[in-house]
Structure 1
Amino acid sequence: MYRFTALFGQQRAANGGQIGEAFRNLGLNQVLDHERFALYASADTPVVRIDARSVLVGHAFRCADGKPLAGSSRPEIPLNTDLSLYMSEQFWGDYVLFEFPSAGSFDVTRDPSGGVACVFSTASGFVTSDISTMVDTGLYHRAIDWSFIRENLIYPHIKTGSTGLAEVIELLPGHRLRVSEDGADTSEVWSPWPFVSPGRRYRSASEAAAAVRSAVIKAVEAWADTDRDVLLELSGGLDSSIVAACLRNSKARVTCCNLVTAVPGADERDYAVAMSDLLGQDLHVRTLRVEDAEFDFPPPSNAVAPSTWFLQNAANKLKEAIGREHGVRSFFSGGGGDTAFGYIKTAAPAADAYRERGLLAAARAVRDLAELHQCTFWKASRLTARKLLAPAKPPRVPDLSFVRDTAHRSAANLHPWFTSPPDSLPGDRERIFDLAGAQIFRDGVARSATSHLRMPLLSQPVVEACLRVPSWMWIEGGRNRSVARSAFVDDLPAKILHRRSKGTFMNYSGAVYRRNKHLLRDYLLRGSLEGHGLLDAPALQRFFDRRHDDLDDGFMRIFDLCSIENWVRHQT
């Protein structure tokens, strides 16, 4: 992982050289001493001096030729250039950019993919990738922000910039923090919305497929050449298989793994083997056992909000063990592929086609929609008409089940990307809302706190290329993620290229719930959330009293609550 900390204001002045020794004991060395702040980083975290007034922490690659940014290949930046904007347009990667244009202020910009964790506290005077560093040095004492926890119960699985720790704020991906003598404020540097404007759309599916293919290969190969020894997490699905296909010509040593369960639904090893054979590698298969599920476990050390489920925790242990066994430097995942590749389950693509291309294009999209969902053309037409006539849906629906205080703010205010342009299309809104939700994917994975977790399908060039693909092209021919399938038609085995099904851990999760129902009941009804009056205890008790054969997927909400309860318990 990338590890850095910057101290500013009274925090820096009060501690002086004393804190330097404390940081060195944690593996952080001072790499910059500026009038406004001091920057510390671990030896394995790249720090590149761009010019006399800026430094980059992490990895960045030039968009034009894919060359990594290094001390010997610093960019020639035009005078009077907004460097944060310039970097977001000319480079991509996992990085945090520090700028100090004047003695009175400095800026911190997080790249659009969010590959480097970044939180800050103006009250305590720090910017860091790992809050545990501040705790271990005594520069911050954990205190829960219960107003955040209350909102997180209603709107889980979304980054908002707020965190569960008092006076700690997350700098959202694609945003800039400016710290000056007058205080601090944040602003947006990169947004997905310009990439879905009509003038930037690809005009044909072939053009779209070529662009998506180029972007994915660029991202996968850049990270593989950087890390050299990688563990590829092969789920057996289309997305991780595309990542595998792009690794065939890389210079990296690739180890492949796959997880299965003892209950039906998640055994995808036949598909995963097809891709590991293509790479000429063995597939290391491990089994997630129902009896190994835990609910009370230490969250990732850098977690500033609830994010880790029992399933992620169990899977992480198995993958980390394989990684240690094979000496890998990073973990490669196809995570976020559904989001990037326009996997929309509504009639929005056909509605988009009508609004932007007219009746003929809409008819073709409705036909594709009917084929995709195995329904009649007329049903698909009705759903499309309903999508066109109905008011726009909110970006998130509040989940008020099992909470005592149901007051909540509008979902439109949760995330900057939830403010859509007035002329935006339904499919574009759904895609970008999902993209905002995907920002949390790294947070729930504990191995990202100790190793690099690469999600190339959520890298900036891939996201930008995919956003330019009109939503109706993604369902062309009645196939989900159609453009991605066409882009890699010559690289994937037919059994993966043409499959319609997806593996699911729902049966496994249900088995875990049934086995642990009484434990989960006591965990929640005697826990911190209930102790702070946040849970509707009678409603929870009624749910736990239901027979196993009377269950719907409501038990997944129970796991959400347990994830929050677990994080809260480990903050003291």
Structure 2
Amino acid sequence: MCGITGWVDFTRDLTSQRRTIEAMTASLFRRGPDSDGVWVGPHVALGHRRLAVVDIEGGKQPMIAHQGGQDAPVVLSYSGEVYNFRELRVRLMGLGHRFETSSDTEVVLHAYLEWGAGLVDRLAGMYAFAIWDSRKEELLLVRDRLGVKPLYYHAFPGGVLFGSEPKAVLANPRFTARTSEDKLPILFNPRLAMPWETPFTDLRQVQPGHLVRVDRSGVHETPYWRLVSHEHTHDQQTTVRNVRDILEEVVVHQLVADVPLCTLLSGGLDSSAITALASVHRPRGLRSFSVDFENADNDFRATALRPERDTPFALAAAEYLRVDHTAITLDPADLAGVVPEALAARDTPSLGQFDASMYLLFQAVRERSTVALSGEAADEVFGGYPWFFSRDTVWGETFPWLGAAPRLTDCLAPDVRARLRPDDDERDRYATMLARVPRLPGESGLQARMREVLHLSLQGPLLYLLDRKDRMSMALGLEVRVPFCDHTLLEYVWNVPWKMKVADGREKSLLRAAVADLLPSEVLHRRKSAYPATFSPAHGAAVRSALDAVLTSGDSPLADLLDVPKVRALAEGRTEMMTMADNLHLLLPIVEVDRWLRTYDVTVTA
């Protein structure tokens, strides 16, 4: 896994801008601590930081092919893993291509030389890459189908800046860090963001399953992949068997690495299924890791999304599967000190304790492994969240995970609310995302609605979680792979009727049936429990103190934007919310947005 960045400008000669592209590249050091490289042409500059995972000696980048001669190179800066690169390599060799390395990077480059932009239809994996084709004077930016790997760009007249993270674009002096009041809804709740949106003005994400062409006519973004709805004709038994076969093949592909590999094992169904399959095909020396907090026995409070602690189940799964497990126990007092690191990794407001604890977990994992397999995305693919099973949230006319919980935008000052109309904004976002659902003609009732709910969950919530996992892991040079984001698996499960997905009356019935022979009963039938939160009183007091500092500070960038009495009233309340640990969790973005605006010196415009 790596970091990529670049700059195209058809209005100027960039050969004199080597220092700038080097600075953009250096900003991504943590994504690729093993090596770096830049390539500069008359109107383009590309940079790369490498985390070596496959073919340690080969695969250095940017990688160059001279198919059109020395004066017309094709140059690739690539981040990710293409899991079917060996099969593609064999096919390309049959077509006459010759390879100098065993890396997937070279396979991607030759796939472009053979198929042009059509290579995207042949790749299976997680990736974000840029290809400069001097023969056509065209830049191609590509992001994987599910958006596992990030890619940002800033378009301007005559060109574009891009990077794996905002920091790479921010390192170029022609981009200025700005935001606006109308970004407050997604700053306060990033799960509301559209797939292309960022909190920075004029900075977009390449959408999952999209490619961006940049040439002298401008910047053009188009989809290359979408989910397609069709009738599912397999019976329950065949469906279960097919899910098992696909998932097993996916895990086998994702076990390929020339560096130490482990799994993230929470003791839930998802991570335990991945660990079980990995242990079958890599039976010797497989490590696993989980996370918990000191004094959790006393501090823990059950919520709808976190009904129980992970540790007992993680230990039970590890013992049953005979993997070398390490339970990472964190001191809640250490979380606040890591938030600045998490913010620096994310470049957008931190998620507080959730970013901080994941950062500390991955820091411990990275001491022993370079690659980790995660169970992320199974809930969105198979239907695992509580909101899938509440009539009020399923049939509510908004995003199901929001339900009737308070909105942080309710705490905006009256004049700001009048200008932004956040309730209308939420309705507009919901309608926009609903219009993107690939419907099945003739489908109605609960099945049609659950298709909508599942698709909505594959957008904001999943991208939010994948972004957190990528940013916290790559800040430490750790590659996290997500087998449940395999597009072949998703395409198959997407069209399985909802009644099959919940055949035993519970969440993720289909996945449970597919791995029933691999797991102990207590793990196989465990209720959904989200990534751990700390309920330490000391941590809660620290959050309250930080919130109070924002509210009483006359120089806070949010000072004129908030209704302080409303914030304080919400802070003192105790509202039962499906997706929030507590009221302080809901209010935390105020603290983190304030920190972000100050740290990045972001100007807020009306």
Query: What TM-score, normalized to structure 1?
Result: 0.79
Q: How many residues align?
A: 525
In structure 1, distance between residues paired with 2:164 and 2:581: 39
Matched with 1:376 is none
Of residues 473, 484, 505 in structure 2, which corresponds to 1:447?
Answer: 473
* Cα displacement (A) at 1:76: 7.0
Note closer, same or farther for the CA distance 1:135–1:457 as it changes in structure 2 (3 Å cut): same
Change (3 A) 1:334 1:202: farther
Letter paired with 1:283:
H
Over 3 Å counting, the alpha-carbon distance change for 1:181 and 1:98 in structure 2 is: same
Q: Secondary structure at the match of 2:562?
A: coil
Instruction: Indicate whether 1:3 and 2:3 are aligned.
Output: yes
Structure 1, gaps ≥5 residues long: 348-368, 374-382
Q: Which residue of 1 aligns with 2:328?
A: 286
Please report how far the alpha carbon of residue 109 of structure 1 lies from its aligned counterpart in structure 2 after TM superposition.
1.6
2:61 is equivalent to residue 29 of structure 1: no
CA distance in 2, matches of 1:65, 1:6: 30
1:186 is paired with a residue of what secondary structure?
Answer: strand
> Which residue in the other structure is 2:78 paired with?
57
SS at match of 1:5: strand
2:437 corresponds to which letter in structure 1?
S
Matches within 5 A, 1:123-272: 123=156, 125-136=160-171, 138-139=172-173, 143-147=177-181, 149-153=183-187, 155-160=189-194, 161-192=196-227, 194=228, 197-199=229-231, 201-226=232-257, 228-251=259-282, 253-261=285-293, 262=296, 263-264=299-300, 265=302, 267-272=309-314
Instruction: State the 1:134 CA deviation.
Output: 4.4
**Alignment match, 2:145:** 112
Aligned match of 1:461 = 488
Evaluate the alpha carbon distance shift between residue 234 and residue 107 of structure 1 in structure 2; reply closer, same or farther with a 3 A threshold: same
2: CA distance, partners of 1:545 / 1:471: 40
Equivalent residue for 1:333, pick from 356, 374, 377: 374
Contact 2:380 2:458 survives alignment (8 Å):
yes
Q: Does the aligned pair in 2 maintain the 1:299–1:570 contact within 8 Å?
A: no
Contact 2:575 2:582 in 1 (8 A): no
Tell whether 2:478 aligns with 1:470.
Answer: no
C-alpha separation in 1, matches of 2:75 and 2:556: 44
For 1:15, the equivalent position in structure 2 comes to 16
- Structure-2 residue corresponding to 1:299: 342
Cα distance in structure 2, aligned partners of 1:241 and 1:566: 37
**Relative to 1, partners in 2 of residues 1:69 and 1:205: Cα closer, same or farther, differing over 3 Å?**
farther
Contact 1:232 1:333 in 2 (8 A): yes
Which residue type is aligned with residue 57 of structure 1? Y
In 2: Cα distance, 1:92 partner to 1:547 partner? 43
Query: Which of 371, 384, 407 is the aligned partner of 1:343?
Result: 384
CA contact (8 A) 1:36 1:106 kept: no
User: Paired residue for 2:458, among 419, 422, 435?
Assistant: 435
Letter in 2 for 1:457: F
Cα distance, 1:148 vs. partner? 5.4
Residue equivalent to 2:359: 316
Secondary structure in structure 1 of the residue aligned to 2:535: helix
Alpha carbons 1:343, 1:474 under 8 Å: kept: no
Task: Note if 1:273 corresponds to 2:297.
Answer: no
Deviations 1:185-229, CA, capped at 9 Å, x for gaps: 32222223x1xx233x25222222223223322332322213641
CA contact (8 A) 2:128 2:149 kept: yes
Quick one: which amino acid aligns to residue 216 of structure 2? E
Q: Is contact 1:177-1:186 (8 Å) kept?
A: yes
1:338, CA displacement in angstroms? 1.1
Residues 338, 509 of structure 1: alpha-carbon distance in 2 compared, 3 angstrom cutoff: farther
Residue 188 to residue 413, structure 1, CA distance change in 2 (3 Å):
farther
Aligned to 2:409: 400
Question: Relative to 1, partners in 2 of residues 1:88 and 1:315: Cα closer, same or farther, differing over 3 Å?
Answer: same
Match in the other structure for 1:499? 526
Task: Measure how far apart 1:566 and its partner are.
Answer: 3.0
SS of the residue 1:184 aligns to: strand
Q: Which moved more, 1:112-121 or 1:282-291?
A: 282-291
> Using the alignment, how far apart are the partners of 2:433 and 2:323 within structure 1?
43
Q: Aligned residue for 1:360?
A: none
Kindly tell me: are residues 501 and 111 of structure 1, through their superposed partners in 2, closer, same or farther at Cα, counting changes over 3 Å?
closer
- Cα distance change, pair 226–14 in 1 and its aligned pair in 2 (3 A): same
SS at match of 2:14: helix
Q: Report the Cα distance in structure 2 between the residues aligned to 1:238 and 1:545, rounded to whole angstroms.
A: 36
Q: Secondary structure at the match of 1:256?
A: strand
**1:92 counterpart = 2:125:** yes
Q: Cα gap change, 1:517/1:281 in structure 2, threshold over 3 Å: closer, same or farther?
A: same
Residues 131-167 of structure 1: CA deviation (Å, up to 9, x unaligned): 334445x545551312454232454324422222333
Paired with 2:527 and 2:581, the residues of 1 have a C-alpha distance of: 24
CA offsets per residue over residues 414-449 of structure 1, 9 Å max, x none? 776752356561111111110112012132242233
Match of 2:595 in 1: 566
**Unaligned stretches of 5+ residues in structure 2:** 30-34, 53-58, 68-73, 90-102, 303-307, 602-606
CA RMSD in angstroms comes to 3.9
Native 8 Å contact 1:143 1:571 kept in 2:
yes
For residues 96 and 122 of structure 1, the distance between their equivalents in structure 2, rounded to whole angstroms, comes to 17
Tell me if the contact between 2:251 and 2:278 (Cα under 8 Å) persists in the aligned partners: yes
Query: What amino acid does structure 2 have at the position aligned with 1:313?
Result: A
Cα contact 1:148–1:162 (8 A) shared by 2:
no
Identity %: 17
Query: Could you say if the C-alpha distance between residues 74 and 63 of structure 1 is closer, same or farther in structure 2, counting changes exceeding 3 Å?
Result: same
Provide Cα deviations, 1:498-519, integer angstroms capped at 9, x if missing partner. Answer: 2336367467277732564233
Residues 11/317 of structure 1: CA separation in 2 closer, same or farther (3 Å cut)? farther
1:419 aligns to 2:436 (yes or no):
yes
